[in-house]
A and B are shown apart, each in its own frame.
Chain A
Amino acid sequence: DVKVTQSSRYLVKRTGEKVFLECVQDMDHENMFWYRQDPGLGLRLIYFSYDVKMKEKGDIPEGYSVSREKKERFSLILESASTNQTSMYLCAILGLTGTEAFFGQGTRLTVV
């Protein structure tokens, strides 16, 4: 059974804090994605990684950075959390065949 594990299901952080969201996979997939999902706005791509230390900006990278030091782990970093970053964050993985993506359970982040 494929596992995409996000470090937290719910998280509450204060404005200005540095926040780390972790995503770990056990499928040895090359492609990993970070999305945020907000009501009425759907899933929006923040960052994408296609290999260790390789990353590409998505559609809304401002205020975020990522780290992929090992193939199985893709971290999303909020450098200085703001209230407009309150959202559901979803991590996804996709193999080279591109047939089926697997998503984590999501992290609901609230910034107060």
Chain B
Amino acid sequence: LAKTTQPISMDSYEGQEVNITCSHNNIATNDYITWYQQFPSQGPRFIIQGYKTKVTNEVASLFIPADRKSSTLSLPRVSLSDTAVYYCLVGVPTGRRALTFGSGTRLQVQP
């Protein structure tokens, strides 16, 4: 089971691009990388998932280098509403361990 390491917290200002890096040195061949966002008193919400290279959707981009030992979630032009906890999950996306959450990164966006 690949363990993940993320910064505990980050600060940013509105309009800036935010990059949150997740370290997963022991990632296995079949593991995917998935990011979730959680607001206070709500359940986590899926942001993006990738296996290698770059994935982009309407919300974020996910950059995965060739060795897959880390990944970076990129949030373009953040707003106050992006203040949340962001979780990086690494693993086979099925079964009991599909949703193993670490401590996450608390992003605070200032005006």
A and B are partners in one complex rather than unrelated chains? yes
Residues of A within 8 A of B (CB): 4, 31, 33, 35, 42-43, 45, 48, 50, 56, 58, 88, 90-92, 94, 96-106, 108
Q: How far is the CA of A103 from the CA of B49 in the complex (A)?
A: 16
Among A88, A98, A108, contact of B98 (Cβ-Cβ < 8 Å): A98
Could you show 26 A-B contacts with beta carbons less than 8 Å apart? A31-B95, A33-B99, A35-B99, A43-B101, A45-B99, A45-B100, A48-B96, A56-B96, A90-B44, A91-B43, A92-B44, A94-B94, A94-B98, A96-B94, A98-B32, A98-B92, A98-B94, A98-B98, A99-B93, A100-B46, A101-B36, A101-B44, A101-B46, A103-B45, A105-B42, A105-B43
Q: What 1/0 mask marks residues of chain B from 83 to 111 whose CB sits below 8 Å from any chain A CB?
A: 00000000011111011111110000000
With A31-B94, A42-B104, A98-B92 as contacts: A106 and B99 at CB distance below 8 Å: no
Residues of B within 8 A of A (CB): 32, 36, 41-46, 49, 92-96, 98-104
* Residue numbers in A under 8 Å from B45 (CB-CB): 103
Q: How far is the CA of A16 from the CA of B62 in the complex (A)?
A: 47
Among B36, B46, B96, contact of A58 (Cβ-Cβ < 8 Å): B96
Scoring B43, B92, B102 by chain A CB atoms within 10 A of each residue's CB, the highest score goes to: B43
User: Are B43's CB and A103's CB within 8 A?
Assistant: yes
With A42-B102, A104-B43 as contacts: A99 and B96 at CB distance below 8 Å: no
User: Are A50's CB and B101's CB within 8 A?
Assistant: no
User: Are B93's CB and A94's CB within 8 A?
Assistant: yes
User: Are B44's CB and A99's CB within 8 A?
Assistant: no
